Amino acid sequence: MLRNIVLFATMALLLVASSTGFISVQSNTIGNVLYTQNFSGANGSEPANWYHDLGYSIQNGWYQAIQPKVKGGWTVAYYTGQKFSNFSLSATAEGLSGCNQLPPVLSVVFRAQSRTNLYGFWADIDKLQLWKYVNGFPVVMQTIGSIKINSTGTPYVLTVEANGSHLQAFFSNGIKSYHLSVDDSSFSSGYVGVATYNCNARFTNVVVSSLANPTASTTSSTNTSASSSSTSTQSTITVTNQIAVTKTDTETCLSCVVVTTNQTVTVNQTQVQTTP
C-alpha cells in the first residue's frame, strides 16, 4: 500500500482575512489554546499577572502603551502567570498617533526571563526582525527588509513559534506573507508578552497555543525496510543577518548594529514517497 508523506522544512502558511480587518498569517500546526488575554477589563485597569513598564493600561479592550518621555522609548509588558517552552504566540498590534517616529516598532516578546533577557519579533514600517536581548545586550538574529506596513490605523497580527531551539515568525501586510526562521538556544522557556519602541501602540488578542507536533526536528522516522524517493523544490530569499552590536544603553539600545552581512536563505520543500 502506497503511503505519501509530505515533509516541509518550513511551516505551511495560512492567510487569514477576518471580519475585523486584522491582517494575519499563521502556521497550520497549532494545537490547543494554553492562554488567552483580550484585555476586557475596565479602562485604566491592569490585567492579572502582567509585568509592565510605565505607560501601559487597558483601554477599550486593548492594552495601550503610551510612550513615556525616556531615552530610546523601549517599553515591554508580559504575562508572568506561566512560563511556556514549545508553543505558538500571536497578538494583534496597532500603531497609534505619535507612532510616526523612526523606527516605529510593534513587537511580541517570548521566552522572557526579564525585560532584558528575552526573544522578540518586531515589525516596523520597512522591516521585520527576529532578535534577542541577553543580559541587556541586543542581538538581531534575522531581518527581512523592504516591507511596507502602516505606522498607524491598521491592526496587524504578529505570530511566533518556539519549538526547541527552532524559532519562527510569521507576518502579512495584506499584500505579501513573510516567514523568518532561526535556530537559537539562549532561552528554553519563559514568559510571553508585547513591546513597542519609539511608538504609541496598543495590543489585544494575545493567544498562546500548544504545537500539534512539539519537536525541534522537521523529519520523521520510517521503517528501515522501506524504500523511498524524493523530489525537492527550492525558493531563495536574501535577508540581512546582523551579527555585531555596540551597546550604549542597557535598557534602550535595540538599534545599535554596526556590522551587517547579507545571508541567502534557501527554503526547501521535500515530498517523500515510501513503499513498504
pLDDT tens for each residue of 78-97: 999 999 999 999 999 999 88
pTM (two decimals):
0.71
- pLDDT of residue 6 exceeding 70, the answer is no
- pLDDT of residue 102 exceeding 80, the answer is no
Provide, rounded to the nearest whole percent, the portion of the chain with pLDDT above 90: 50
For the residues of 218-272, what is the DSSP string, one character each?
------TT-EEEEEEEEEEEEEEEEEEE--S-TTT----EEEEEEEEEEEEEEEE
- Ranges 23-32, 108-117, 141-150, most confident: 108-117
Q: What's the maximum distance between 2 C-alpha atoms anywhere in the chain? A: 67
- What is the reported pLDDT for 214? 80
- Burial class from Cβ neighbours inside 10 Å (0-12, 13-18, 19+) for residue 38 reads middle
C-alpha cell read off for 172: 502579512
How many Å apart are CA 51 and CA 82, to the nearest integer? 12
Tell me if the domain spanning 11-225 has CATH number 3.10.20.30. Answer: no
As a whole number, mean pLDDT of residues 57-65 equals: 95
- pLDDT of residue 230 exceeding 70, the answer is no
- What is the reported pLDDT for 270? 31
Is the CB of residue 72 less than 8 Å from the CB of residue 197?
yes
